[in-house]
Structure 1
Amino acid sequence: MLLRVILGQEDIRRITIDSMPETVIGLHLMLKNMLGLEGDLVVQFQDPEFSNELCNLSCMSELPKDKVTLKVYSKNLESHQTDSTLDTASLTTSSEESHPPSASRLRQLPQPFQIPTFSFDVELKLRHGNEAFHKDGTLLDVSKDTKSDILDKIAEAIYVHNPYPTREEYDLVSQALVEKHPCLREPGSVNGWYCWKFSLKFKMGNFRQKLRLAGCPELKINSRSPGTPGKGKLKRARKSEVNFLPDLPEGKTQGSLEDERTEMVTEMKKRKIDWQQIKEMMNSTFSLRRKQIVEDEPPVADVRARWPALFSERQIEAEFARLTSVDLKGSLFAGLDKYLLRFLEVYRARSGLVELNSLLSTLDNDSSNQRQRAVVLMGLPYYLKDVAKLYKKVQVTDAEEDWTKGMAVGILMAEQNDRVGFAVVLEEEIIFPSISDFPTAVALLMGLLFALNIDYPRGLKYTFEVIQKVLMDIGGGQCTALVHGLKNRLLRKKK
């Protein structure tokens, strides 16, 4: 079926789909996945019975059979900006020429979670059930069909935010369900929603399987052939990426995208590189690149050989925006400046940590904003008691082969007299040399970890979690206890 989707006066898309969803909610889910929309949608269609004037869509049977024009609004977004979102229909825009993208589209469930509206008959049963519960405490006897309808709708609502919810998120949703509909409480569990939680986990598994069989890339990647031994690492968005594994662009094939990749490699070998052409081809080949990186998990050196343009500073920033809809440097620096003074106060309160005291003492000679940012970032591993080092100091007179020895992830600080240069290191290889300051080096390192789908090293997991979830505000709704405690200290006003 052919869809003409109007998102704005200058953003009208042509999309081809195999078949339309059976329900309006299913259509909303499909549009959110394909167009990168968030929040509650309003979908209107051109009604042929009223001279193609727009009408709100309330039933799928109202739509024409072969092709239809839809106008889509997102209630939660003031405008839909194509430079901050990627979709399967168009990958030709870039965030490089725009304002920093919104950070509101995160891979986490909203708090509180909004229970969706169910079918008319189920809503009627729940209304009568809630009235009876408030009158004399009577619980609703839920039939198999009613329970299935409830779980189906909630699973769809969860999937829009996160295909792989955490245990805490299942608790959150189950609790929200019985709070909105107390007649569904379970008399045999302490909190009243224990069985709903496990039924919902089972339903989400079935829902993912249906989408996996339908060809959803992000779920299909975790399918296993019969007889596959062991249970490998689940390949899913682990850092709140909103475009973790997108579909191929409309009208493109894997072969045509591979041809573009080859053309890019040739372009990058030229003395005068056409960066505008590189930008366009990097946008276009984003889905192929993610497929290769996520599925094959190649070494950094192999990715660098196949995608040399990705290892330029401007493209790391662009790739980070494609993945997260967040500005790389802007979000980190804004977060640092927001918490800068509180971080320094918290550090000074840990007077027993020699490393922190040493870093803080450097502010006596240089108290500039840039130096304060660097001290905050350098001090994180010591404050959080991470066992690994975020940075390594070397002298330019040292043997170069020893500079990166043993460094899987980190920042190199090369000192010469009173000058210091910075470089980003991955897998004992310098990726970005000659960086002017430490905060910029940290930003580029974060961009590489996202772009190359590299897990945070175990010895620095709390440090990178603070950088991502507290400073950059990406996925900050779910933190470990240690990071949550630090965040509370930063937000607490000084007495």
Structure 2
Amino acid sequence: MVLEVSECGNARPALQFFQINAEFKHITTMPLQSRFLSQLDLLSEGLLRVFAKRSGEQGKKLKDMMTDDIDAGRESLIKGLCIYLNENPDILVQEYMDMTEATALSAIEKTTVGIYITRETPGNDFSDVGIIIKGVVVLQDLDNVAVATALLFGLFYSLNMRYPSQLRYTFEVIPKVVMELDVTQLSRKAQSLKTKLLQ
């Protein structure tokens, strides 16, 4: 089974989850979503320790975003990984708050690749997490940012898509350090992070 981006946008969410997870398992022989979440949880203590050693503006950003809530904590770890690797987490995860649906759709259409979040605000009880590829929402109604990140990675992997250059280190660390898929030929940044996690 080979997934196409056009298929992702037309399928029902439950089918999309199944297709992405099944294709990833077919290619790698490992489950996608459960593996990503369990590995992220396993590495969380080490990542927090590494993040805590950062100083300056980057260190302050990393400290300010940490939380005890498990879903928000996973989201913070993913965003923290971007910050630690000197990449902008707002490119990966875009939050739309206090926007009309038309304004949000306009912003989504300008997005090449990423995860979007609409959060509940006073007077607006709607919230959603989804994935955008080439300005099109291909998945929506996801549980949280961590699940969306796993599925976005699975889409990249299954569709053999090129990772966005602004997030190249984040998308190097996810498969090679978090998922432990291919640990050869790490960049200096990824190798440095892996070494610090093992200390």
TM-score over 0.5 (shorter chain): yes
Query: TM tier, shorter chain?
Result: 0.7 to 0.9
Deviation at 1:396, TM superposition (A): 5.2
Q: Using a 3 Å threshold, how does the CA distance of structure 1 residues 396 and 449 change in structure 2: closer, same or farther? A: farther
Q: Which residue of 1 aligns with 2:74?
A: 373
Measure, in 1, the Cα distance between the counterparts of 2:72 and 2:138.
23
Q: Report if the CA contact (8 A) 1:468-1:475 is conserved.
A: yes
Q: Which residue of 2 aligns with 1:442?
A: 149
The aligned runs of 1:94-105 (5 Å cut-off) are none
Deviation at 1:443, TM superposition (A): 0.7
* C-alpha RMSD of matched pairs (Å): 2.5
* Consecutive unaligned residues in structure 1, runs of 5 or more: 1-285, 294-299
Q: Which residue of 1 aligns with 2:94?
A: 392
Q: Which residue of 2 aligns with 1:382?
A: 83
Which structure is higher in RCO with an 8 Å CA cutoff and minimum separation 6?
2
* Consecutive unaligned residues in structure 2, runs of 5 or more: none
Q: Aligned partner of 2:71: which letter?
A: Q
2:34 is aligned with 1:330:
yes
1:281-316 alpha-carbon deviations (Å, 9 max, x no partner): xxxxx2xx37xx6xxxxxx33x558x8479611111
Measure, in 2, the Cα distance between the counterparts of 1:454 and 1:379.
24
Q: Which residue of 1 aligns with 2:63?
A: 360
The aligned runs of 1:333-482 (5 Å cut-off) are 333-354=37-58, 357-358=60-61, 360-363=63-66, 366-386=67-87, 389-395=91-97, 397-398=99-100, 399-417=103-121, 420-482=127-189
The aligned runs of 1:226-305 (5 Å cut-off) are 286=1, 289=2, 300-301=5-6, 303-304=7-8
Q: Report if the CA contact (8 A) 1:331-1:471 is conserved.
A: no
* Normalised TM-score (structure 1): 0.36
The aligned runs of 1:132-143 (5 Å cut-off) are none
Q: Which residue of 2 aligns with 1:237?
A: none
Q: Which residue of 2 aligns with 1:188?
A: none
* Runs of 4 or more consecutive aligned structure 1 residues displaced over 6 Å after TM superposition: none
Deviation at 1:464, TM superposition (A): 0.7
Measure, in 1, the Cα distance between the counterparts of 2:60 and 2:115.
21
Measure, in 2, the Cα distance between the counterparts of 1:416 and 1:309.
24
The aligned runs of 1:64-213 (5 Å cut-off) are none
Measure, in 1, the Cα distance between the counterparts of 2:184 and 2:38.
18
Q: Report if the CA contact (8 A) 1:360-1:375 is conserved.
A: no
Measure, in 1, the Cα distance between the counterparts of 2:52 and 2:37.
21
When the two structures are aligned, how many residues end up with a matched partner?
Answer: 192
Same amino acid, percent of matched pairs? 26
Q: Report if the CA contact (8 A) 2:128-2:142 is conserved.
A: yes
Q: Using a 3 Å threshold, how does the CA distance of structure 1 residues 423 and 341 change in structure 2: closer, same or farther? A: same
- Higher share in helix: 2
Q: Aligned partner of 2:43: which letter?
A: Y
1:219-258 alpha-carbon deviations (Å, 9 max, x no partner): xxxxxxxxxxxxxxxxxxxxxxxxxxxxxxxxxxxxxxxx
